[in-house]
Structure 1
Amino acid sequence: MKMSPFRTACAVVFALVALSLPLPSWAQQKAAPVAVPGLSQVPAAPVQAAPSVPVPAAAAVSPVAAGTTATPAEGRSLRSTPAVPRELSPWSMFQSADVLVKAVMIGLAFASLVTWTIFIAKMVELSVVQRRLRVALGKIGEARSLAEAQFALGAKDSVLSSLLAAAMREARLSAGISSDAGIKERAASSFAEIVRAEARRIRLGMGLLATIGATSPFVGLFGTVWGIMNSFIGISKSQTTNLAVVAPGIAEALLATALGLVAAIPAVIIYNHFARVTKGYLELVGRASGAAGRLLSRDLDRTHVGGAHARAAE
């Protein structure tokens, strides 16, 4: 059956109008065939729905996707601000410590100052007295009597001068006594008293060194225990176990133990050093005591020999 040109043109116009109309849904409906009068119906090709693309969760909440632009200040506010670390220098830890812990630290620092003061003073004193006593022993090495030894020493004040003076005083007080053993015994007693007094004098300050060396670690440990107790109390109040919160208090407490060791270790070393040096000096004092005793014995023997010669001459 042949169609007229008019019908053909109408069919073409209807087809274009139908194609220009929007379909209800591209994802759920298929294109329906368009019926054109006089034309055979040709089924339209089905339109497939476009595959859905998963949208990330971050993009769903992004301010840019929502049509807004995030400012730099708003972006920084979204992130958590890290805590500023606390300065842990020794001075700052001392300032932040508890009052009792501060008192312990000040006491230990003072004890360390005392230790080094004793060290300097005793080093100077022991060097001077040892050199002076060695020189004095060398001067009286060739002396034959107490008077000659005193003349060789001169007016210098030393432990040897005290020993010689004690020997001459005992010889003078014992004049007319024929028993040499009694004179020597009394002189030896005087020598022992002088040696003990010199030992006490030269050991002055060493007891304080021993006390500092023995007690400073325990004093520092007391400050540490007290500081750690306060730190645990602060942790329980803040209800956090963050290391940035816990560490400063414990570091402040441990500073007390460190100061205790700083005070104790030099004190023990200096005490042991002075114990050796003092022992050597007291040996020199013993030599001086023996030299004074020998000079006294010579004088006593000369006195008896001179008395015997005088009686023989009579």
Structure 2
Amino acid sequence: MTSETDPDARRSALRRAFGAFPTGVTIVATLDAQGAPTGFTANSFTSVSLDPPLLLVCLAHSAATYAAFETAEHFAVSVLGATQREASRIFATRGADKFATVRWRAEATGAPVIEGAAAWFDCAMERRIKAGDHTILLGRIAAFGEASIEPLGYWRGAYVGFGPEGGATAPRGGGVRVSAIVERRRSALLRIGPDGAAALPSADAFGPAGAPGSLLGQLGAAGVWAELPFVFESCDAGHMHHVVYRGAAPDAPDPAPGWRFAPFDDLPLARMAPHEAATLRRYVDERAAHAYGRYVGDQGGWAG
């Protein structure tokens, strides 16, 4: 159990702990008061009962779709297939024209069911239960279906696949490298090698903080504590899958020897691996625009 006493640090640690549980990915959709389709991406979904047939999904009170689901009488849950990462990303993006990018259909209740899903459940709203900063939507299943396709998986802030043997695998079956863009007053934390080569802090595992070979352990060795609540990028480079988090450490001291905060206008991009340089350049551009994307794909093609 974490011993963090700072509320923000504890919240971040709890988010990471929740992320250790691998899940599928769903799109939850309904029709708003004007009859227009609306929905959101969720992995907080579970079965509840076979008799009567019930399921639940959790919706944050801060969600842009919250008002529609507060009055909706029906909703549908579509369990996404492995090829539907882009739909997952778009439905998780505030302000996106979500239903312009997917095909959908109405089933028993009229709620939108996403075409190509691994499974779907069309529900009447049974009950809404407010719980903390979320509301639990309890649905009574009116109709459902499934297809024999591989589902989309999610684990520790990144998409994974569920292989034919039932094991969760990285998208290309290779290793996973976890990195971080840690910002301090318009500069990024970099590890500087003896030859002057620069790299983002990275490791084969996210935590725990006490493990020297983990990302949190490396940040600890650098003398920098940072909350990393957001995934900026999930991509393939060669046979390695990279997950890049972003976060801030505005009050961090100067780091330990071998590390430095490099100003955005003087980043040593030419001394970095090409995929890290491209990632950092993209972050600086989006930071200036105060608009972050979330990138899924590979070095040659981005879905973001």
Greater C-alpha Rg:
1
Q: Normalising by the residue count of structure 1, what TM-score does the alignment of the two structures yield?
A: 0.19
More strand per residue: 1 or 2?
2
Relative contact order, higher structure (CA 8 A, sep 6+): 1
